[in-house]
Amino acid sequence: MPQQQYIHFLRQMDGCSIQEIAKQTKVNWRTAKKYADRENWNKGFEVHERRFLILGECTEIIDTWLTEDGSRPFCTTMLNRRSNLISSDGCIE
């Protein structure tokens, strides 16, 4: 942190160019530019939105299914699941 503030000081008070600061402090010119022109020294926090890349647009449909299943009585959902497993000839798939 002291070196970063020193880079900022050289740019603001002494009026040094980015190239001069980079040579004097022995850092890359990109690093010198980054800290020389920085005004806000507080780190910003980014809130990342949860994304479901694999499911994509299906998440809304799945959420609907789960809420519908949750509102039905247990017996009804189990009977529907069992009836979906049994084919028309009576064998379990």
Rounded-to-integer distance, Cα 55 and Cα 67, Å: 18
Q: Where does the pLDDT of residue 13 fall: very low under 50, low under 70, confident under 90, or very high at 90 and above?
A: confident
Q: Where does the pLDDT of residue 49 fall: very low under 50, low under 70, confident under 90, or very high at 90 and above?
A: confident
SS3 at position 44: coil
Can you say whether the dihedral through the CA atoms of 85, 89, 91, 93 is positive or negative? negative
Domain boundaries, the chain: 2-36, 53-93
Rounded-to-integer distance, Cα 7 and Cα 22, Å: 9
pLDDT of the residue at 26: 92
pLDDT of the residue at 51: 67
pLDDT of the residue at 48: 72
Q: For residue 93, which amino acid is it?
A: E
The 10s digit of each residue's pLDDT in 28-39 is 989 888 888 887
